[in-house]
Amino acid sequence: MAKRRGHGEGSIYQDSRGRWIAEIDVGRDHTGKRQRRKRTARTRREAQQKLSALEAEVASNLDLDGTNVTVNDLLDRVIHHARDKGRQPKTIENYEWAASHLRTAFGAMKARELTALQIESHLQELVKERKLSRSSLVRINGTLKQALDEGLRHDWLTRNVANVARTPASHTTTRQALTPEQARTLITEAVDTRLHAAVVVGITCALRPGEILGLTWTNLNLDEDPPTLSITHSLKHDGTGTYLGDLKTSTSHRTVALSGSAVGALKAHRRCQNADRLAAGPLWDDHDLVLANELGRGWNPHNFRRDFRTLTQRAGLGKLPPYTMRHTAVTLLSNAGVPAERIADLAGHRDTRMVERVYRHRSSTLDVGREEMARVIG
């Protein structure tokens, strides 16, 4: 009498159609019904290879019910989890953007069949065809890592191949910081425009664009000594419009002392806004925003970006993004000798790593240790 196969044991045989079948017993389900998994092959040798793979999966305690789990399935889980955690709409949008670049290449593929070389090849195609920056590639592969981690968590995968995939070189855009002369030129060009207060505050306080747009009048203490500005919200935009959302990190909450030029620009801006309020009459929609549009509502970040680029081009600086103000503030302070720790506090960073790696720009001539060397070696 033939011995009944036990849990984890397999066999190879041909079916009535002449196909080779690799079959393995994986135990009983919750109802007591015996569960088996099969793989079809064209030859006995191929069937033996597939049986060995099945046996290895059982040995590593892999949940074989995840055999048909696709990359799309895991990406959906990441996005669903982010929504359940109450992530910001912009964060969800970033996940969906990254997932869209992965679904076209790997979405229908079984997750356990994905390889690191396939990932690298796809990232290289995105550089070649889409001209994506390195930060975009890192975001895409990071989303894939999270998705494959879901597979590991459920015992559907034995390894996360995205962890070993190399991110290719890309068309990284060099961040630009203005010189002191260029900063003064930009501020002068902004006088008598709706951007004047935003430019002065952005350059002197190292604020993010969303933090500038999210300022409310209750955040300001212009008549105190010293006058201050508190950053408590960031203006965000989604399909329904603009709204005040949370700041990027917990350390982004901070109070900044204002320079005399910033106070003057903000007071002048308040007078202009009062004129807008009178002109709008009952149409004025008061949200207490410092940088509101003609009707008191939030300044759409896309429009703000467009208007800022127009201003920088008119100032002879080319089309620059609003983040240029933040880069400029950190660079000017660093070049002036302000310690990195103090700059990090001003910018709302937890430590100095971002200041050193991203925001600070070296001056064209490094005058470091010249006098000290002269004393040491003559």
| Same domain, yes or no: 216 and 321 | yes
| Same domain, yes or no: 140 and 246 | no
Residue 27 forms part of a structural domain: yes
pLDDT score of 163 more than 50 = yes
Q: Phi and psi of 116, rounded to 5°?
A: -65, -35
For the entire predicted model, the pTM comes to 0.62
pLDDT at residue 6, as a whole number: 42
Query: Tokens 């002109």 identify what position?
Result: 279
Two tokens at 232?
Answer: 């408590």
| Same domain, yes or no: 151 and 51 | no
Q: How many domains does the chain have?
A: 3
Given pLDDT bands bounded at 50, 70 and 90, which one contains residue 5? very low
- pLDDT tens, position by position, 260-273: 999 999 999 999 99
| Same domain, yes or no: 333 and 207 | yes
| Same domain, yes or no: 152 and 208 | no
pLDDT score of 75 more than 90 = yes
The fraction of the chain above a pLDDT of 90, given in percent, is 47
Looking at residue 351, its amino acid is: D
Q: Considering the chain, what is the average pLDDT of its residues?
A: 85
**CATH code of residue 151:** 1.10.150.130
| Same domain, yes or no: 210 and 318 | yes
| Same domain, yes or no: 155 and 279 | no
Contact 328, 204 (CB under 8 A): no
**Average confidence (pLDDT) over 343-351:** 81
Cα–Cα distance, 106 to 129 (Å, whole number):
17
**Average confidence (pLDDT) over 347-375:** 61
Neighbours of 32 (CB within 10 A): 6
| Same domain, yes or no: 210 and 336 | yes
Residue 258 forms part of a structural domain: yes
pLDDT score of 135 more than 70 = yes
Range of the domain at 81: 71-163
Given pLDDT bands bounded at 50, 70 and 90, which one contains residue 9? low
**CATH code of residue 286:** 1.10.443.10
pLDDT at residue 184, as a whole number: 93
Coil, strand or helix: which one is 262? helix
* CA within 13 Å, CB half, 96: 9
